[in-house]
Chain A
Amino acid sequence: MKILVCISKTPDTTAKIAFTDNNTKFDTNGVQWIINPYDEWYSLVRAIELKEADASTVIHLITVGIADAEPVIRKALALGGDEAIRVNTENSDAYYIAGQIAEIAKHGQYDLIFTGKETIDYNGSSIGGMIAEFLNIPYVALATKFELNASKAIITREIEGGEEICEVELPVVVSCQKGVAEQRIPNMRGIMAARTKPLKVTEPVAFESLTSIISFELPHAKAGVKLIPADQPEELARLLHEEAKAF
């Protein structure tokens, strides 16, 4: 069993969101970078569990990004995984990134490719579905549970207002979210081991982007809260009904 886990670097969830250069660039000043939580907590941990269940499993991590992505990929290696690949290029749109990953995957003979359900910065939910189409293999999005039975994956996935269980022969691309696994904290042994695990750097293939970000903006600030005394919940109900027309 060979698994490829896609790892993205994202700003910490408490990072201040601000923009520079006339609102065309994300302000990285003082920003702490973390492994995208969906990649870390769910896809990576599930891959590690599969290796714990079957020691012959090989896990490769992949990230697309310039050298500043290395601390994050080392942190991922501290959790688990055998080696990492970094495609040395500036990030562009999802099509470009998925194209780079698919290029590596084509030569890697992976049985399973995991992504997070989305990254918490660009919220695209696109990479997994694009990789699958580039490779012409099935894609199961928004998994909440993932089991293996020989060469078959049994996956529970989110649908509107419920869940669906499906079976699919490997290889498959799966995007993972809550439920697939539980967050783990790297231990000292893992951190030490990560230092010597191979981190291969490869150059990107020529590939285009289909979209580009022109500018960013912040939402309008709220006007301020209207406080209602605790003994007058009927006044709150009235305001919601008549003023906010919320029901």
Chain B
Amino acid sequence: MPVLIFIDTAEGHVKKASLEAICYGAKIAEQLNTAAEGIVLSEVKDDLASLGKYGVTKIHHVNSVALNHLDAQVYIKVIAQIAETTRAKIIVFSNNADGKAIAPGLSVRLKAGLVSGAVTLPDTSKGFTLKKTVFSGKAFANVSVNTDKKIIALNPNAYKIETRDGVAEMIPFQAAVDDGKVKVTKVTKASGEIPLTEAEIVVSGGRGLKGPENWGMIEDLAKSLHAALACSRPVADAHWRPHNEHVGQTGIAIAPNLYIAIGISGAIQHLAGVNRSKTIVVINKDPEAPFFKAADYGIVGDAFEVVPKFTEAIKKLKGIA
């Protein structure tokens, strides 16, 4: 009874969030003295066997064009077939866009208790409990899964990727694949950019930047750090920046290694979506800005003066200037 990990791909490539899920699933398997095995649906370009170095011993691969785009209903049925064949009791997802689409329905189909947004390994000392974020990152809940089968959706950036020696055995899986009812007609990638939820470093701008024309220096800073861009809600509402950069309680919740907030006051709703970042840097001209209370490092100063110099200093340290 292996631990199964759903390995998510985009345009044939394995997503970073899935590597975290694999490492996490492999650790659970180790705790329970069993094996970790991956599930890949759709055609892929990456060498799947090499995912063994993250801890999976086998990969069940349904190599089907029909699965290249997500239709949750179709995916759920296929994953359920693999779960049945392998008699798996635990299935791990990343709590990313695809995980959120698939895991809840699978939970119903398998009657398996679901914990979405998990941030720790399960505690199996008495029962099976997991910690998850609640109140948009303002608190945690310890949730007990009371069913024999269990599904865990791991928050992105909540578990560290580690490698070891290992090659996964590829197992082609012959699944019955339904004709989906959801037809994908167009995919637009924010090309070349790093997905916000997967980014290690995020540079974020607020209303203090005065207008969209001033984002050049924010983009420069982000580029020097290989960071993704984010913004506060009023910035997205005013269409200075696209909606998909809006972070916070009513936007995207993120937990990068480093979050740099520039010209953002740090309202409670904003903090809710970013306070799980490991290191928080705040640049704000108002020493009373609430964000400083949630920050690790701060500069009280005018962003228009500080940011360009900060970017230069980073480039120098990284040897790119």
Contact = CB atoms under 8 A, between A and B. Distances in A.
B140 A237 contact: no
B279 interface: yes
A222 B297 CA distance: 11
Contact of A166 (B95, B146, B182, B188): B182
Interface string A68-102: 00000000000000000000000001110010000
A215 interface: yes
A32 interface: no
Contacts of A222: 280, 293-296
Contacts of A230: 299-302, 305-306
A228 interface: yes
Interface range, A side: 35 or more
B43 to A, nearest CB: 17
Interface string B90-110: 000001111011111111110
Given A94-B114, A164-B187, A210-B114, A123 B101 contact: no
A87 to B, nearest CB: 18
A234 interface: yes
Contacts of A160: 10, 15, 17, 96-98, 195, 197-198
B249 interface: yes
B115 interface: yes
Given A225-B292, A233-B306, A161 B297 contact: no
Interface range, B side: 35 or more
A231 B106 CA distance: 55
Contact of B72 (A120, A139, A167): A139
A233 B299 contact: yes
A161 B299 contact: no
Interface stretch (B24-32, B127-135, B204-212): B127-135
A192 interface: no
B246 interface: yes
A161 B252 CA distance: 12
B35 interface: no
Given A132-B73, A139-B73, A216-B139, A126 B116 contact: yes
B300 A227 contact: yes
Contacts of A209: 146
Contacts of B244: 144, 158, 163
A141 interface: yes
A142 interface: yes
B219 to A, nearest CB: 16
B316 to A, nearest CB: 8
B140 A212 contact: no
B142 interface: yes
B298 A228 contact: yes
A178 interface: yes
Given A38-B250, A159-B187, A162-B188, A225 B293 contact: yes
B100 to A, nearest CB: 4
A204 interface: no
A105 B250 CA distance: 27
Nearest to A209: B146
B238 interface: no
A162 B197 CA distance: 11
Contacts of A122: 134, 141
A129 B182 contact: no
Given A133-B109, A139-B101, A168 B145 contact: no
B10 A159 contact: yes
25 contacts: A11-B135, A37-B250, A120-B249, A123-B117, A125-B95, A127-B104, A132-B72, A133-B106, A138-B182, A141-B97, A144-B243, A144-B244, A159-B98, A160-B96, A161-B10, A161-B194, A163-B187, A164-B70, A212-B146, A222-B293, A225-B292, A226-B296, A229-B299, A233-B309, A236-B297
Closest 9 CB pairs of A and B: A230-B301, A129-B104, A161-B195, A210-B113, A133-B105, A234-B313, A237-B313, A233-B310, A141-B101
